[in-house]
Amino acid sequence: MTVARRVLLCPITMGLLLQSLFLLLLLLGSCLHPAAAFPKGCYPSEEEGLKTFRCSNAQLTEVPRDIPNDTNKLYLDSNQIPFLPRNAFQDLPLLLELDLSHNAISRVESGAFQGLAEHLHSLDLSSNRLVSVSKDTFSNLKAKVNLSNNPWLCDCRLQELIREVELAADSSGGIVCDSSTQEEHVGKAFLQVIADTDFCNVYKKTTDIAMLVTMFGWFAMVISYLVYYVRQNQEDARRHLEYLKSLPSKQRRSEESSTISTVV
């Protein structure tokens, strides 16, 4: 091979090598960039043909962002998430399963599960710090919900919530009264309690009694005022008549006529 030919081939070879290296770097970058955007301890995978995103035991204190919007199964269990804000999962329209168990969730804002009604079929909120949640939080949600092992306040609000959701199989026994409007229910399974007690009916009766007592109080005040007013006017009229009697007869007759017409 001549020197001239070698000189011509070297730039071509170098160009091909540089081009290959550049393409390799682009390929590596496209593979590594999405993973780098995920919180530490979170990673995507595929399980049984479903796209899964796992953040179990990742020391999270909030619902992570940048979760792939084609995720079917999301695991956020065993973290320190304290509450679920409104629209927390609105960018996950294909989500089928959501595991939020073993967190520190004590508050769930209305609309937290907005956008999940169509596909979600499993929601796990067990082993959190839920005391009371509005039934509107799960409005239109068709998923089977696990609410066990939370420090529930057993009252009308919980009763309405239980009627709103479909409980996951074998989870109802884990919904236990940590506190209650009636002390004897503490430590008992809620479904066992409401078999004999209608919290909402008791609340309605209590409200009706309070309203009746309030109305009676106002009625008594009005009657008392009317009685006082009549007696006070009678006393004033009596004193005025006595005064008139002490006046000369002509002036007295004129004042009496005026007083009588005023009283009438």
What's residue 244's pLDDT?
A: 57
What's residue 256's pLDDT?
A: 52
Query: What letter represents residue 225's amino acid?
Result: Y
Q: Are strands 50-54 and 97-99 parallel, antiparallel or unpaired?
A: unpaired
What's residue 31's pLDDT?
A: 46
Spans of all domains in the chain? 37-196, 198-227
User: Of 108, 174, 169, which is closest to residue 144 (Cα–Cα)?
Assistant: 169
Q: How many CB atoms lie within 10 A of CB 139?
A: 14
- DSSP, collapsed to helix, strand or coil, labels residue 258 as helix
Q: Collect all residues with Cβ–Cβ distance below 8 Å to 142 and sequence separation of at least 6.
A: 117, 120, 121, 166
- Only one residue has tokens 């909402």, namely 200
What's residue 251's pLDDT?
A: 53
Choosing among 3.10.310.40, 3.40.50.300, 3.80.10.10, 3.40.50.2300, the CATH entry for 37-196 is 3.80.10.10
Walk along the chain (264 residues) and give the pLDDT tens digit of each residue. Answer: 554 444 444 455 555 555 655 555 544 444 444 444 788 899 999 999 999 999 999 999 999 988 999 999 999 999 999 999 999 999 999 999 999 999 999 999 999 999 998 899 999 999 999 999 999 999 889 999 999 999 999 999 999 999 999 999 999 999 999 999 888 999 999 999 998 899 998 644 444 444 544 565 555 666 666 666 666 676 666 666 666 566 565 555 555 555 445 444
- DSSP, collapsed to helix, strand or coil, labels residue 174 as helix
| DSSP string covering 88-102 | TTTT-TT--EEE--S
Buried b (16+ CB within 10 A) or exposed e, 16-46: eeeeeeeeeeeeeeeeeeeeeebeeebeeee
CA 53 – CA 73 distance, rounded (Å): 6
What's residue 220's pLDDT?
A: 60
Please check whether residue 113 is in contact with residue 138, taking contact to mean a CB–CB distance below 8 angstroms. Answer: yes
What's residue 225's pLDDT?
A: 62
What's residue 243's pLDDT?
A: 63
Query: What letter represents residue 46's amino acid?
Result: E
